[in-house]
Amino acid sequence: MDQVAMEFLPKDPSEEEFRRALCNGFILCNVLNKVNPGAVPKVVKASMTSSEAAESPNQDSENMRNFLAAVKDKQLLAFETSDMEKGGSINKVVDCILCLKGYHEWKKAGGVGVWRYGGTVKITSSPNELPNALTATERAADESGEELELSKYEQLREFIQLSNEASIEESKTTNALTFLFDRFGLWLLQAYLTDGNMDEEFPLNAMVIDAFLSKIVNDFSTLLVSQGIKLGLFLKKILKADDGPVSKSDFIEATSDYIDKRNNLQAATGISKAYICIGNNEVVLNSVCRSPGRVEILTDLIQRHIEDLKLFFRETRLEVRKFHSYWEADIKRLEHHVRDLEVASSSYLKILQENQMLFNEVLDLKGKIRIYCRVRPILPGESKDQSTVDYVGENGSILIVNSLRKGKDSKKVFSFDKVFGPTVSQEQIYTNIQPLIRSVLDGYNVCIFAYGQTGSGKTYTMSGYDLNTKETWGVNFRAICDLFQISKTREDVIEYKVGVQMIEIYNEQVRDLLVIDGSTKRLDIYNNTQLNGLTVPDASWVPVSSTQDVLDLIRIGQKNRIVGPTAFNERSSRSHSILTVHVHGKELVSGTIFKGSLNLVDLAGSERMDKSKVQGDRLKEAQYINRSLSALGDVISALAQKSTHIPYRNSKLTQILQNSLGGHAKTLMLVHISPEPDAIGETLSTLKFAERVASIELGAARSNKETGDILELKEEITNLKLALEKKEAEVEQFKARTASSAKLRRSKFSSALIGKEISVKVPEERASRLGKPQSPTPPVRRYLSGDKGASTRNKVKFDVVENQPMSKVVVPVKAHGTRSLAPVPEITSTDNNSGVQADHKSDESKLNSLMHSTASSLGKVSQNLKKSSFF
Ligand SMILES: Nc1ncnc2c1ncn2[C@@H]1O[C@H](COP(=O)(O)OP(=O)(O)OP(=O)(O)O)[C@@H](O)[C@H]1O
């Protein structure tokens, strides 16, 4: 409290002194706030002494104005500012203050019932409400100008002084309490932490400290309220004692006694505060309170306070322990619960995985071709506003919008195993097909083929965009690296060999893509459906043993692939490319052998010739592409309808894919579509084709996993079959060669006879005609049929087919009659025919030895097979 505020009413104030003390409004505002907290929200500190204020009363008139406004607002008796000036009606001021006092007492007493001021019933109010109909007080005495009694002034002065002090004391107490609580908390913590390992017993956390402090605050608030009530009662007693007003000296004594007690309490609080801070009672006692009489009281108070605090601390500690044990039990319950949940969630996960596995097994058992659809993003230069793909669902559905149609027909939903939107990355695509690819290492044949219109992103998915950028690596590269790396991790258990072939079908010719000398040899396809042999055995088979090998191979393959510009794609693939990874694995302990193969097919894009505006070579390529794709469509339709005849042999593509489409392979079709509105026709036909493919059931996929012996035998069979196939082909070639050489020999033989005479046996009835020199040749030709002919010098003797009486005739041979359909007879006597005969003999012996070696190989195999219990 500053000096101005401390300046107060003298002991026996004159009217002038009274006015001067109150005229700045500061005291009045404080008193009103005490009686009715918050009535004057803003009290301006007095800036001058009361004597200065009296000289210039307007200086602090803000407080006075606020006070009068608040008093009027509360409908209490008020006065005018001019009443505070010299010559003003000070009685009104006094009246106002007495009214305030009366109202205060009434309120302190509970505020129930009626409140009287000056003997007149003024108001009836509920306990918490202000009087709402306060009329003017009875002012007879005031108006008569009768002098105020001294005792009345005294009471007023004391009331004002006490109220003011109480307000100051309260704010001091609040500050001290705040400080005390802060320090107390700290002390408690220090004591707690130093006294016997409490950090282990006591779970210190913000919540505990908060709870503890709020309890203390509550207790002290209660104490404070009771102090306030005590003061109120005390004032009431001294100001309005039933046995008449107390004397001035009694009142002052009682008040000073009370203030003493308050001060003691205050000092005790201060001391305990200091005690807590410093821990030295004596020093503080001496410094704070020098009066020896008070020291005992204060020490006593402090002791009691400390005892209380100790008790409180012990109770708190017990309570905390209790809570601690509750919490421990709770935590244990929660731990159990969490463990139960963990178990439940892991078994849920297991069930989900099992479901997924079962679902895949069902698919595998049915031999369903899986269909994944990928939507190409809109490319720079294409309109971003219109995309034919309206919605891509999580569950494998895709909604296509056809702006050329209206109403219901403009939208169509397709459903596949998975649909990847335009933002799906290369890595995500691979992750989704990885399990399928990895099954190659367990001996499965897997085929993944990319299908779609030209420019829809097939090559992007399969080959990737740029081999130097990891994010854009395609399925081919990722798959080989993956297989190769997994095979490395299993090398302690299984010995794997991974090899790669890369071919393309360009204009119905199979070409090797892994050649480095630029050769373009045509390769043959072998139909080896029973085992996982090489379908194109003559194509380069390159073993890979490092990621770098894979990278180099893919680079060579991509370089050799034939590409060209079309209206839809600057670098359109003009061929179907097939990358085949062969995996051969042998379990080191059991000797079991796996043979898996992975066919990664990037089909050439289907295109509408009218739209693609191609000509010349491009047109020819497009025709071949479309023809082979339509052959693929025919195979798919036949498979879907479970036809007995599947037209695999109609194209090289279907021949190569035969094992994957109709065998026991796991097959995945990656359908690609472009979002361009221009391509809506192709998009719809692609998706419809994919739906048809999805309906095919091929039967369960089988793993090529055998124990060593059986697999070796099977391999032998396969090799022999291959050899047999080759030999059959050789026999065919030999036959063709023989036929042409026979023709040649016949012509040689016939030319050798021209101009000579031959003796032939003919039916008698003909002999006469034949004997005629004019028409010998045509009938002779008819009867040249056997191979039992014998020849003499310049004469050839033939047996006649029909069993008739024969006669010999000698006929001359003319040039135009030398054609013969019969096998060539031996002409031993003719010198210039001996070479022909030798050729013939050597061909025959070759054929015989070929047949013999094949038969003996087959015999060996069948013996081996008989030995094996498997057959
Ligand atoms: N997912 C994708 N993200 C970014 N660009 C892509 C994507 N798919 C395709 N493209 C781009 O689209 C263009 C055509 O793609 P791509 O050559 O792979 O099509 P395609 O179906 O193989 O065509 P074609 O059948 O004519 O060979 C290329 O420029 C390619 O980079």
476 and 353 in one domain?
A: no
433 and 310 in one domain?
A: no
Instruction: Collapse the DSSP code of 491 into the 3-class scheme (helix H, G, I; strand E, B; otherwise coil) and give the result.
Output: coil
Q: So what's the pLDDT on residue 457?
A: 93
Tell whether the model's pLDDT for residue 56 goes beyond 80: no
Tell whether the model's pLDDT for residue 589 goes beyond 70: yes
Long-range contacts of 802-807 (CB under 8 A, 24+ apart): 802/763, 804/763, 804/764, 805/763, 805/764, 806/761, 806/762, 806/763, 806/764, 807/761, 807/762, 807/763, 807/764, 807/767
pLDDT tens-digit series, residues 495-522: 998 889 999 888 888 889 888 877 777 7
Tell whether the model's pLDDT for residue 122 goes beyond 70: no
Tell whether the model's pLDDT for residue 801 goes beyond 60: no
395 and 354 in one domain?
A: no
442 and 325 in one domain?
A: no
544 and 444 in one domain?
A: yes
pLDDT tens-digit series, residues 516-528: 877 777 787 876 5
Tell whether the model's pLDDT for residue 408 goes beyond 90: no
Q: Does any domain span residue 455?
A: yes
Q: Does any domain span residue 105?
A: yes
Indicate the top mutation candidate among 459, 471, 618, 672 to test ligand 1's pocket, ranked by most ligand atoms within 8 A of CB: 459
What the block records as the tokens of 746 is: 């016949």
Range scoring the smallest mean pLDDT among 234-243, 581-590, 698-707: 234-243
- Compute the half-sphere exposure of residue 686: CA atoms within 13 Å on the CB side of its CA: 30
Tell me if 162 sits within 8 A of 235, measured CB to CB. Answer: yes
Give me the residue label for tokens 């605050």: 217
Binding-site residues from annotation for ATP: 452-459
Q: So what's the pLDDT on residue 426?
A: 95
> Nearest C-alpha to atom 1 of ligand 1 is from which residue?
376
Task: Provide ipTM, 2 decimals.
Answer: 0.98
Distance 378 CA to ligand 1 centre (A): 10
Distance 473 CA to ligand 1 centre (A): 13
Last residue in a domain, options 88, 119, 150: 119
Q: What is the distance between the alpha carbons of residues 64 and 358, in angstroms, rounded to a whole number?
A: 90
Last residue in a domain, options 673, 701, 729: 701
Indicate the top mutation candidate among 372, 374, 376, 392 to test ligand 1's pocket, ranked by most ligand atoms within 8 A of CB: 376
> Nearest C-alpha to atom 23 of ligand 1 is from which residue?
455
Q: Does any domain span residue 537?
A: yes
Tell whether the model's pLDDT for residue 77 goes beyond 90: no
Q: How confident is the model at residue 172 (pLDDT cuts 50, 70, 90)?
A: low
Distance 617 CA to ligand 1 centre (A): 22
Distance 541 CA to ligand 1 centre (A): 28
Tell whether the model's pLDDT for residue 332 goes beyond 70: yes
The residue among 724, 767, 746 whose CA lies nearest residue 825 is 746
Q: How confident is the model over 357-384, as a mean pLDDT?
A: 78
Q: How confident is the model at residue 475 (pLDDT cuts 50, 70, 90)?
A: very high
Q: Does any domain span residue 94?
A: yes
pLDDT tens-digit series, residues 773-799: 434 444 443 334 333 333 333 334 444
Question: What does each C-alpha distance from 24 to 6, 38, 46 come to in angstroms?
Answer: 13, 19, 7
Q: What is the distance between the alpha carbons of residues 703 and 494, in angstroms, rounded to a whole number?
A: 16
What are the residues whose beta carbons fall under 8 Å from the beta carbon of 858, sequence distance 6 or more? Answer: 720, 724
pLDDT tens-digit series, residues 614-628: 667 777 788 888 888
Q: Does any domain span residue 620?
A: yes
pLDDT greater at residue 455 or residue 394: 455
Distance 457 CA to ligand 1 centre (A): 3
> Nearest C-alpha to atom 16 of ligand 1 is from which residue?
457
Instruction: Tell me the CATH number at 63.
Output: 1.10.418.10
374 and 333 in one domain?
A: no
656 and 629 in one domain?
A: yes
Q: What is the distance between the alpha carbons of residues 184 and 217, in angstroms, rounded to a whole number?
A: 11
Tell whether the model's pLDDT for residue 837 goes beyond 60: no
516 and 420 in one domain?
A: yes
Tell me if 556 sits within 8 A of 513, measured CB to CB. Answer: yes
Q: Measuring from each residue's beta carbon to the nearest atom of ligand 1, which residues come in under 6 Å?
A: 376-377, 379, 452, 454-460, 465, 569, 571-573, 604-605, 672
Distance 409 CA to ligand 1 centre (A): 29
pLDDT greater at residue 100 or residue 674: 674
469 and 342 in one domain?
A: no
Q: So what's the pLDDT on residue 862?
A: 61
> Nearest C-alpha to atom 14 of ligand 1 is from which residue?
455
Question: What does each C-alpha distance from 765 to 88, 601, 603, 768, 783 come to in angstroms?
Answer: 182, 72, 71, 6, 14
Q: Which structural domain, as residue segments, surrounds residue 76? A: 3-46+57-119
Tell me if 675 sits within 8 A of 376, measured CB to CB. Answer: yes
To 10 degrees, the CA torsion angle through 30, 33, 38, 40? -50
Question: What does each C-alpha distance from 73 to 44, 60, 183, 630 come to in angstroms?
Answer: 19, 20, 42, 99
375 and 348 in one domain?
A: no
503 and 517 in one domain?
A: yes
Instruction: Tell me the CATH number at 601.
Output: 3.40.850.10
Q: Which atom of ligand 1 is nearest to the CA of 456?
A: 21
Phi, psi of 201 (to 5 degrees): -85, -25
Q: Which atom of ligand 1 is nearest to the CA of 465?
A: 31
Of 118-132, 209-223, 540-554, highest mean pLDDT: 540-554
Q: Does any domain span residue 378?
A: yes
Indicate the top mutation candidate among 454, 460, 466 to test ligand 1's pocket, ranked by most ligand atoms within 8 A of CB: 460
Q: So what's the pLDDT on residue 376?
A: 94
Last residue in a domain, options 682, 701, 720: 701
Phi, psi of 576 (to 5 degrees): -90, 125
Mean of per-residue pLDDT scores for the chain: 71
Q: How confident is the model at residue 76 (pLDDT cuts 50, 70, 90)?
A: confident
Task: Tell me what percent of the residues of the chain surpass a pLDDT of 70.
Answer: 55
Q: What is the distance between the alpha carbons of residues 459 and 443, in angstroms, rounded to a whole number?
A: 27
Burial 266-281 (b: 16+ CB within 10 A, else e): bbbbbbbbbbbeeeeb
Q: Please tell me the pTM assigned to this model.
A: 0.48
Q: How confident is the model over 127-143, as a mean pLDDT?
A: 37
Q: How confident is the model over 810-835, as a mean pLDDT?
A: 42
Describe the strand order of the beta sheet including 411-415 as a list of residue ranges: 389-392, 397-401, 411-415
Distance 424 CA to ligand 1 centre (A): 14
Q: Does any domain span residue 218?
A: no
Indicate the top mutation candidate among 562, 569, 608, 624 to test ligand 1's pocket, ranked by most ligand atoms within 8 A of CB: 569
Question: What does each C-alpha distance from 794 to 46, 684, 752, 808 come to in angstroms?
Answer: 163, 78, 9, 15
Q: Which atom of ligand 1 is nearest to the CA of 452?
A: 21
553 and 429 in one domain?
A: yes
The type of residue at 757 is: E
What the block records as the tokens of 3 is: 């000096």
Q: What is the distance between the alpha carbons of residues 766 and 811, in angstroms, rounded to a whole number?
A: 12
Please list the helix, strand and coil fractions of the chain in percent, rounded to the nearest 5, in that order. 55, 15, 30
Distance 458 CA to ligand 1 centre (A): 6
Counting the structural domains of the chain, the total is: 3
Binding-site residues from annotation: 452-459
Q: How confident is the model at residue 820 (pLDDT cuts 50, 70, 90)?
A: very low
Q: How confident is the model over 738-746, as a mean pLDDT?
A: 73
To 10 degrees, the CA torsion angle through 850, 854, 860, 863? -140
Q: Does any domain span residue 735?
A: no
The type of residue at 186 is: L
